[in-house]
Amino acid sequence: MEMDAIEKSPLSIKLAKIHEILAPLWPDAVPLLHYRTCFELLCSVVLSAQCTDEQVNAVTPVLFSRFPDAESMAEADIAQIESIIRPTGFYHAKARHLSESAKLIMSRFNGQVPQTIEELVTLPGVGRKTANLVVSACFGTPGVIVDTHVMRTAIRMGICDKPDPELIEMTIRKNLPESQLTAFSHALNRHGKHVCSARKPLCLTDLQRCPVAGLCERIGVANR
């Protein structure tokens, strides 16, 4: 959907203002995970479920030095993958997902990470969050990456009233121009991490500490 196609609604106006404020504050609209190829990014995002980016970045250099591409990962012994990724938690399931995804990439996608969200979500362990991150970072396709920080912040701000990642993604897609989607979701992620944190959103001590306080409904936040 191009900029002209966005219908002016109270929500689209609000999102435009939030984007205008937050995007310049968090200009590093790139994944915090370390990677050199789309395959490495895909694997890193799979490993990041229920785990910090820092912890994932600590294990991936070893993982990718042994299994740098889909072909080598597909042939890897699952126990070997497990022993490397164990610190990221849920390592049995994650190792299986990496192995099965690599096999599917080899058999269905000619060894290349698929380029569309629809194809990516057919891989085990790959949901819309991962798919949006991969298409935006690797292929330049606008993505809305709804992780826990984006979801919490979107609910508090009144962007969406249900903690449903797909609904939040579609709501943002419908109300912002495509060209702003990726930067918006990265900025909302950083804002959620550093300002609108789960336990202590900065507005609890002083409204002035949140740059978008004037646009926020502060839903579920104490001291309203």
List residues with catalytic annotation: 129, 147
| Minimum separation from the CB atom of position 110 to ligand SF4 (A) | 44
* Rounded least distance, CB 211 to ligand SF4, Å: 8
- Whether residue 201 contacts residue 217, with contact meaning beta carbons closer than 8 Å, is answered with no
Supply the minimum distance, in Å, between the C-beta of residue 213 and ligand SF4. Answer: 4
Indicate the residue among 110 and 208 with the shorter CB distance to ligand SF4: 208
Least distance to ligand SF4 from the beta carbon of 205, Å? 10
Q: Which is nearer to ligand SF4, 117 or 203 (CB)?
A: 203
Closest distance to ligand SF4 from the beta carbon of 191 (Å): 7
Cβ atoms 71, 110 nearer than 8 A: no
Nearer to ligand SF4, 104 or 157 (CB): 157
- Which of 35, 92, 37, 85 has its CA nearest to residue 62? 85
Produce one character per residue of 65-85: b if its CB has 16 or more CB atoms within 10 Å, e if not: eebebbeebbebeeeebbebb
Cβ-based neighbour number of residue 47 at 10 Å: 29
Binding site for ligand SF4 (CB under 6 A): 153, 156-157, 195-196, 201-203, 210, 212-213, 216, 218, 221
Q: Which is nearer to ligand SF4, 49 or 210 (CB)?
A: 210
CA distance 53 to 100: 22
Which CB, 2 or 10, lies closer to ligand SF4?
10
